[in-house]
Structure 1
Amino acid sequence: MQKKIDEIIRIGKWIWEKDLSGGASGNLSLRVDDETILITGRGTCLGALKAEDVCTIRMDGDPLVKGFVPSSEKLFHTSVYQHLDAKAVVHVHPTFCNGYFAVHDRISFDTFETRLVLGDVPVVDQKTPTITDIMPVIEALKNSNIVVLKHHGVVAIGETLNDAFFLAQTLEEAVKIACIKDLYVRVDRPAAPASGGNAAVSPAGGTFELFSKEQIVEIVRLVNQDAQFRQLALQTNLETKLAVVLDETQTAYCFHFSGGGIKDFTDKVGDAEFVISGKSDYWRAIFKRQLDPFAATTQKKLKLKGDFAKISRWYVPFNRLFDLWTSAPVA
């Protein structure tokens, strides 16, 4: 237990040093077991935490130590652990994020690295000083390990406090880049010319059962008739085998990418160079484009076997591939 308390104190100092929260704002927690969590106390400064500022509470919010007053966000933290697989929660109030999202409802990232880590960050409106409308935030966290609370702050979850902290820090740095870019631009950027290659491909009609052979056949058809994918695949010399696996049933498909398209596919992992596996909820969100597949791997919602640096070379054609997936809608 002391090790977990020390971890909370360490991350609190990092948050303070990186200006992610000031004064007595922000709160941290760690899952202890299915019944209890460790959480910071109300009115504590994350940059000056002591062991007595951290205490164990039950999932109903009651502290195990008499007299300890947990963070006012205690019920949000316990709700996260009751509904999600998270082991750590970071809630901070970053200056640039709060300022940026006070006037924006979304952010487009200007570096590939940031998009790989964060994906599409959900923004959930808040109307109270503490998170009282909890379930919309929980729902958003199912598809992204980091969520912006408009007019409030940022929450991030992870397997460790390190993971959650790095997400919050990465988002704050990305917002700083967006603000600096706006200062340089000063004027609205001219609208990009329309491109027929970016048009969405119409679905054949109806929906498909997740990971059914019919869905996969439709995906292959869409990819092989898409001129934009072919061009991007040839430009980046896309030659590989990629397998996808549904955890619950172990249903697997391996796609052989060659010659600007999908040459063939099999219903087993086989000799795939890359294997991506995950639960049905995450795959369904990906096929609906509610979850970025690259970010899903960096946030550990999906598991990737293979060289991430190598698959990143083909980020552009695979991103087009994922766009096409939405045209084979799942039920």
Structure 2
Amino acid sequence: MDVREKRLREELSEIMNRVYTKGLASSVGGNSSIICREDSYVLITPSGLDKMNVLPESIVKVNLDGKVLDGGVPSSELINHLAIYKSREDINAIVHAHPPTAVGMVSAGFVPKPVTPEYVVMIKKLSIVDFAVPGEESINKLVNGLKESDIVLLKNHGVFSVGQNLFEAFARIEVLEEAAKMVFAGKLFGGMHEFSEEEIKEIIDKYVRKKEG
């Protein structure tokens, strides 16, 4: 195992620990993966393992066709991850979680609008698709949703977030759930200001330019 693979395994372990401790998935929910396109393999979290116990050595290594190269049984969501990587060659990582406030709110028909600068910059646009059992229909919905966004919410289930790395993909989910909680609390006390198009443009101009600079 080379130094790069060792580091990626450690990052996957850390991300799943964050997903669980942040309450973004139960001990049996969620999964993450990262692709090494140069060496044609994917590292993905294993199936059936308590998310607090995902260690670097627990991670499963597969080729781009899903054949196990090292480790045990990969997540049952592997087929979704592979399809997303094939459709989005610009991304390197996927985090799948079940943020309860965001999923419950959107599944009930209420879609939170941009209410924080982080939401504007990280989420930009939230893709929403109806629930479908794992299979071809579900894959098509996820792939199509991620053509126009970096995060897609599957009603009554969870979200798939993509990024250049695991931490970027995870941050999108965390920002989405944070915004959903704020909107929920705001509704209890009379509502919360939603950014106008002008405010969104100003936020993008200032925050993105500052980040790029």
Pick from 164, 178, 186 the counterpart of residue 183 of structure 2.
178
Question: Scaled by the length of structure 2, what TM-score is found?
Answer: 0.83
C-alpha distance in 2 between matches for 1:309 and 1:86: 18
Match of 2:50 in 1: 45
In structure 2, relative to structure 1, the CA distance for the partners of 1:113 and 1:3 (3 Å cut) is: closer
C-alpha distance in 1 between matches for 2:165 and 2:133: 28
Match of 2:115 in 1: 110
C-alpha distance in 2 between matches for 1:59 and 1:309: 32
In structure 2, relative to structure 1, the CA distance for the partners of 1:130 and 1:183 (3 Å cut) is: farther
Contact 2:12 2:56 in 1 (8 A): no
Q: 1:126 aligned to 2:122?
A: no
Contact 1:88 1:157 in 2 (8 A): yes
- Once the two structures are superposed, what CA deviation does each residue of 1:245-274 show, in whole Å capped at 9, x if it has no partner? xxxxxxxxxxxxxxxxxxxxxxxxxxxxxx
Match of 1:225 in 2: none
Identical positions, percent: 27
Larger relative contact order, structure 1 or 2 (CA cutoff 8 Å, min sep 6): 2
C-alpha distance in 2 between matches for 1:165 and 1:7: 11
C-alpha distance in 2 between matches for 1:144 and 1:100: 19
Match of 2:22 in 1: 18
Match of 1:97 in 2: 102
Map 1:146-185 → 2, pairs under 5 A? 146-185=151-190
In structure 2, relative to structure 1, the CA distance for the partners of 1:293 and 1:74 (3 Å cut) is: farther
The alpha-carbon deviation at position 142 of structure 1 amounts to: 2.2
Contact 1:15 1:47 in 2 (8 A): no
Point out the structure with max Rg over C-alpha: 1
> Gaps spanning 5+ residues in structure 1: where?
190-197, 199-228, 237-291, 299-303, 311-331
User: How big is the alpha-carbon RMSD for the aligned residues of Structure 1 and Structure 2?
Assistant: 3.1
* SS at 2:168 equivalent: helix
Q: Which amino acid aligns with 1:9?
A: S
In structure 2, relative to structure 1, the CA distance for the partners of 1:150 and 1:161 (3 Å cut) is: same
- Once the two structures are superposed, what CA deviation does each residue of 1:104-151 show, in whole Å capped at 9, x if it has no partner? 253212224322321221111112167852122112212211111111
Aligned length in residues: 202
C-alpha distance in 1 between matches for 2:118 and 2:55: 35
C-alpha distance in 2 between matches for 1:105 and 1:182: 11
> Gaps spanning 5+ residues in structure 2: where?
none
